[in-house]
Amino acid sequence: VTAPDVVAVSADDPYEVLIGHGLHERIPHLVGAGVRRVAVLHPPTMVEAAARVVHALSEAGIEPVRIDVPDGEAAKTAQVAARCWSVLGSAGFTRSDAVVGLGGGSTTDLAGFVAATWLRGVRLVTVPTSLLAMVDAAVGGKTGINTPEGKNLVGSFYEPAGVICDLDTLVDLPVAELRSGLAEVVKCGFIADPEILTLVETDPAAALDPSGPVLAELVRRAVQVKATVVSADLRESTSVGTEIGREALNYGHTLGHAIEQHEHYRWRHGEAISTGMVFVAELAGRSGLIDADLVERHRSVLSELQLPTTYRADAYEDLRSLMAVDKKTRGATLRFVVLHGLGRPGILAGPEPELLAAAYAAIC
Ligand SMILES: NC(=O)c1ccc[n+]([C@@H]2O[C@H](COP(=O)([O-])OP(=O)(O)OC[C@H]3O[C@@H](n4cnc5c(N)ncnc54)[C@H](O)[C@@H]3O)[C@@H](O)[C@H]2O)c1
């Protein structure tokens, strides 16, 4: 076991993201001194990993309380959160106890929300086990659950005390989930760290090898991009001039969210934003912001990873309506994160309908 990479996030209470192999044994140390009980929230796919974490906590003299939560989005409900509160209440959790979220982004979002709300906030350690959760969901302090009206409508900003990305867990992650997470990694390449693109282009198969060094470097670089962006804009408020702050992370997401809804969430998040990124690249290319080579680079790098880059021609009107009600839209104006060059994100607000339609036609 080599020393983990460490990415620092400067939040209100700064914390570290550890990236490496064999890191689960560090969880007792990260939950901190003085903690007597730790609730370990995990989905059914993480039963064995949860058992190891529980064992490590017991060995460290901490009382573990395992909370089995449903898989995927089914975990992010008020009912499941209420069940977790009830378990914490029965076990006598106090302010000096802690919550660990072990699983994909849906588990870490739920665990964060439970930690943020129990006694108005107890210590939280997130242990993301999917690539998407490592590079996106577990870093940045957003926690939340869904309501019948929509995704992530209830939640809070709540920073973890630490994040552990144990790359060993990625070996069991289905390859489709790995590809989906890589779309967010590639996004970080376009908005901030082009070396990510070079790494993927040089050896796409290595990018998909969960035990190899290339994926480890991609995770570190993507976490660094997210950490840098959120550290500069903790509450998603900056949007001045070219400094667009956290909004940059929404690259490809405006059309991506619309596709997810249009597909009733049968497409994975990364698959939808993959097509969304090609769309905004076309939009930027047609607006004269980036050249044709950079537009084409989106298609080629995402295709190398077998991520989708096209969508149905007949869905345009539906997608336009869905984009118009996206929660990131301000008033009636459609806003897109676009590139003003490689690694230079900016905003394109209110593009002409003809431009939008032409960019869409280019991805059909
Ligand atoms: N808080 C944020 O800033 C933020 C950012 C992006 C996404 N999210 C949220 O994250 C969620 C999506 O995350 P996700 O893609 O990780 O989804 P997920 O949590 O549903 O995990 C996807 C699937 O992979 C399984 N899985 C996870 N790790 C595994 C492993 N190591 N081995 C085998 N199976 C494993 C899960 O059990 C699940 O079936 C959404 O709810 C989204 O809203 C939050």
Is ligand 1 within 6 A of the CB of residue 172? yes
Instruction: Give the whole-number percent of the chain exceeding pLDDT 90.
Output: 87
Is ligand 1 within 6 A of the CB of residue 43? yes
Tell me: pLDDT of 348 over 90: yes
Best residue for ligand 1 mutational test, from 130, 171, 173, 215 (most atoms within 8 Å of Cβ): 130
Give strand pairing partners of 143.
Answer: 156
pLDDT band at 292 (very low <50, low <70, confident <90, very high): very high
Mention every residue, 6+ apart, whose C-beta is less than 8 A from residue 243. none
Between 11 and 314, residue with greater pLDDT: 314
User: Averaged over 120-143, what is the pLDDT?
Assistant: 96
User: Averaged over 138-146, what is the pLDDT?
Assistant: 94
Distance 289 CA to ligand 1 centre (A): 34
User: Averaged over 148-176, what is the pLDDT?
Assistant: 95
Supply the pTM of this predicted model: 0.95
pLDDT given at position 137? 93
Distance 288 CA to ligand 1 centre (A): 36
Query: What is the C-alpha separation between 198 and 206, in angstroms, rounded?
Result: 12
Query: What is the C-alpha separation between 297 and 56, in angstroms, rounded?
Result: 45
User: Averaged over 261-274, what is the pLDDT?
Assistant: 96
Least confident of 23-37, 173-187, 258-272, 333-347: 23-37
Distance 291 CA to ligand 1 centre (A): 34
Tell me, yes or no, if 120 is annotated catalytic. Answer: yes
Measured from the Cα of 184, ligand 1's closest atom is 6
Mention every residue, 6+ apart, whose C-beta is less than 8 A from residue 48. none
Tell me: pLDDT of 297 over 50: yes
Least confident of 114-128, 197-211, 329-343: 329-343
Which of 37, 42, 159, 184 is an active site residue? 184
pLDDT given at position 241? 43
Q: Which tokens is 100 given?
A: 């660990």
Tell me, yes or no, if 253 is annotated catalytic. Answer: yes
Is ligand 1 within 6 A of the CB of residue 308? no
pLDDT given at position 178? 98
User: Averaged over 116-144, what is the pLDDT?
Assistant: 96
Tell me, yes or no, if 250 is annotated catalytic. Answer: yes
Distance 244 CA to ligand 1 centre (A): 26
pLDDT given at position 242? 43
Tell me: pLDDT of 1 over 70: no
Question: Length of the chain in residues, anyone?
Answer: 364
Tell me: pLDDT of 29 over 70: yes
Tell me, yes or no, if 29 is annotated catalytic. Answer: no
The structure tokens 């047609």 sit at 286
User: Averaged over 118-143, what is the pLDDT?
Assistant: 96
Is ligand 1 within 6 A of the CB of residue 45? yes
Which of 236, 263, 304, 340 is an active site residue? 236
Tell me, yes or no, if 95 is annotated catalytic. Answer: no
pLDDT given at position 327? 56
Give burial (CB, 10 Å; 0-12/13-18/19+) of 157: middle
